[in-house]
């Protein structure tokens, strides 16, 4: 397995090349590039500029593990507003193009957002319809679309079996699951999600979660690997069971308030320890 | 005069017979019988194996006859096997049948377990240890490691029945315990599963289905010829396997 983390994890104000150097020094093998997050990778970034980024990644001794986006929360393929829906399709297609330029075979998307205004059944149908079309684009590009499980935030596809049924209905080997083991708070166990989805897992996001905290036990809070309630030995065994040998991509939500680069090192060390399977 | 339990068990053992064609050889059809007991563990497991057997396109139901040799008998989730049933099974194995005997002892009382352990030793020479609960030790005991007939990790079913064996007989282990073995008896073969596999088939557990498929399509010779393969670590996922959930 290989270690990666997002360019959105670079300490604030750090340049792209300085961030890559930090990742390399910390022991990562790759970087996840986020469309729409940092200034170097936006919708208006040209192909030529993307090729420069790709060269910088190579020169730093790293690979691009996958292409994520920070735009789905504002422009989702399940939106009622056709303009937002079109924008979502456009940025996902751009991710696919960027993945080809970066020489990686996977992208991450958040597909489907259920809200008070946009009900579940609508979101399901619209998301499915959009993914049928995007799957064709992905197939042509030979880039896999990893649909992330953002269970609590999306309020969509909450159980692993429903997620599997959804993927069955998409019915394309080019659409799988980008599994985030920290996002499964109260709706199950990450290791069981891994078992059920097995070969359909495109990439794995790594973070921990402290469940049921706060005065009323109503909060679940993302945290550093090994600090929360995930059963890491079980997750490691499940990964072994399904024979997953792909990228492990750290996604830290809460950040060190000081010495931000230290968190990059600490997270790399945690990933190394996880891969070694010694707990 | 049979006891009430033996009588009821006998009824429940009414054979389910299909003709199974091994994936490797379409011409080599053989019958499959499922000798279930009348309790939920056995019935659940039988449902899994029955579903698995029926997945083979050339499988056809048949109401009649236990063939004397070349047949496969599956005894799922066994807890209450009587001496006469065990003797029947032993005779069939001696005559060339393959038998998959799946232990359902994990939830039995100590007395029931002891009775079955003694019986299986007497009739089949199996050296079983008392069942061990594994559910409380999550990561270390979650998966059984099969090295034959295919290398896979498969979920345990809360308890295992360890079995003593030669290294060459072992199919699967859990830590220091051999849990599944194969054994030549007469002209046939006995596969003993010390952890229930059938419920995993019902639950659509991918690896359980792969192991069970390999077991039911192996004849009494090939199960011995299969090479031990350590669990392969990390091949890239194969796109063709994406839809096997």
Contact B242 A240 (CB under 8 A): no
Question: d(Cα A32, Cα A23) in Å, to the nearest integer?
Answer: 11
CATH (one of 3.30.470.20, 3.20.20.150, 3.90.25.10, 3.30.70.2190) for A2-189+196-207+245-265: 3.20.20.150
Question: Residues of A with CB below 8 A from B139's CB?
Answer: 231, 233-234, 236-237, 279
Q: Which of B31, B75, B3, B57 is nearest to B219 (CA)?
A: B31
B245 in a domain, yes or no? Answer: no
B243 in a domain, yes or no? Answer: no
- Report the residue of A160, A174, A195, A235 to disrupt the B interface, i.e. the one with the largest count of B CBs within 10 Å: A195
Full-model pTM: 0.83
Question: Residues of A with CB below 8 A from B242's CB?
Answer: 173, 176, 199-200
* Residue B157 DSSP symbol: B
Contact B245 A198 (CB under 8 A): yes
Average pLDDT over chain A, rounded to an integer: 96
Question: Which domain range does residue B106 map to?
Answer: 4-235
Cα of B226 to nearest chain A Cα, Å: 21
CATH number of the domain where residue B11 is located: 3.40.50
Q: What is the mean pLDDT of residues A2-21?
A: 96
- Report the residue of A169, A241, A279 to disrupt the B interface, i.e. the one with the largest count of B CBs within 10 Å: A241
Q: Which chain A residue's Cα is nearest to B244?
A: A199
B167: confidence class by pLDDT, cuts 50, 70, 90: confident
A66 pLDDT higher than 90:
yes
Grouping H, G, I as helix, E, B as strand and the rest as coil, residue B28 is: coil
B242 in a domain, yes or no? Answer: no
- B77-107 residue pLDDT tens: 999 999 999 999 999 999 999 999 999 998 8
Direct distance between the N- and C-terminal alpha carbons of chain A, in angstroms, rounded to an integer: 17
Question: d(Cα A90, Cα A76) in Å, to the nearest integer?
Answer: 10
Evaluate whether B220 touches B188 at the Cβ level (below 8 Å).
yes
Domain count, chain B: 1
- B126-156 residue pLDDT tens: 999 999 988 655 556 689 999 999 999 999 9
Among partner residues B139, B238, B241, which is closest to A237 by beta-carbon distance? Answer: B139
């Amino acid at each position: 397995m290989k270690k990666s983390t997002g360019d959105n994890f670079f300490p604030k104000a750090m340049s792209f090349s300085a961030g890559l150097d930090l990742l390399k020094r910390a022991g990562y093998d790759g970087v996840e590039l986020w469309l729409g997050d940092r200034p170097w990778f936006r919708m208006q970034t040209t192909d030529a500029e993307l090729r420069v980024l790709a060269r910088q990644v190579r020169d730093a001794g790293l690979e691009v593990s996958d292409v994520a986006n920070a735009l789905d929360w504002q422009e989702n393929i399940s939106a009622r507003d056709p303009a937002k829906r079109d924008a979502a399709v456009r940025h996902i297609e751009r991710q696919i193009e960027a993945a080809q330029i970066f020489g990686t075979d996977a992208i991450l998307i958040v597909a489907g957002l259920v809200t008070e205004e946009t009900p579940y059944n609508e979101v399901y149908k619209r998301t499915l319809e959009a993914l049928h079309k995007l799957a064709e684009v992905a197939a042509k590009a030979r880039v896999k679309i990893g649909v992330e499980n953002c269970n609590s935030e999306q309020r969509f596809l909450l159980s692993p079996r429903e997620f599997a049924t959804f993927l069955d209905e998409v019915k394309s080997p080019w659409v799988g699951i980008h599994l985030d083991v920290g996002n499964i708070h109260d709706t199950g166990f990450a290791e069981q999600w891994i078992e059920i989805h097995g070969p359909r897992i495109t990439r794995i996001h790594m973070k921990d979660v402290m469940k049921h905290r706060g005065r009323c036990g109503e909060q679940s809070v993302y945290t550093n690997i090994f600090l929360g309630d995930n059963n890491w030995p079980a997750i490691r065994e499940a990964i072994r069971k399904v024979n997953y040998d792909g990228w492990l991509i750290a996604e830290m939500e809460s950040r060190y308030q000081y010495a931000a680069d230290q968190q990059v090192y600490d997270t790399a060390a945690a990933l190394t320890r996880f891969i070694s399977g010694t707990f | 005069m049979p006891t009430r339990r033996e009588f009821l068990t006998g009824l429940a053992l009414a054979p389910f017979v299909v003709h199974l064609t091994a994936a490797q050889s379409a011409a080599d059809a053989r019958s499959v019988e499922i000798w279930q007991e009348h309790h939920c563990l056995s019935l659940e497991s039988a449902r899994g194996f029955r579903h698995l057997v029926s997945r083979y396109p050339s499988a056809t139901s048949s109401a009649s006859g236990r063939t004397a040799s070349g047949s496969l008998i599956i005894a799922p989730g066994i807890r209450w096997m009587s001496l006469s049933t065990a003797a029947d099974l032993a005779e069939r194995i001696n005559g060339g049948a393959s038998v998959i005997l799946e232990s359902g002892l994990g939830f039995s009382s100590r007395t029931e377990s002891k009775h079955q352990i003694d019986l299986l030793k007497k009739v089949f020479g199996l050296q079983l240890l008392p069942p061990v609960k594994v559910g409380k030790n999550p990561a270390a005991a979650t998966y059984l490691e099969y090295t034959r007939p295919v290398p896979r990790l498969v979920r345990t079913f809360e308890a295992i029945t360890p079995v003593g064996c030669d290294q060459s007989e072992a199919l699967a282990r859990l830590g220091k315990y051999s849990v599944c073995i194969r054994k030549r008896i007469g002209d046939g073969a006995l596969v003993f599963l010390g952890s229930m596999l059938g419920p995993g088939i019902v639950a659509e557990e991918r690896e359980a289905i792969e192991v069970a498929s390999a077991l039911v399509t192996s004849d009494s010779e090939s199960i011995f010829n299969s090479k031990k393969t350590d669990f392969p670590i990390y091949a890239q996922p194969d796109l063709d396997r994406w839809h096997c959930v």
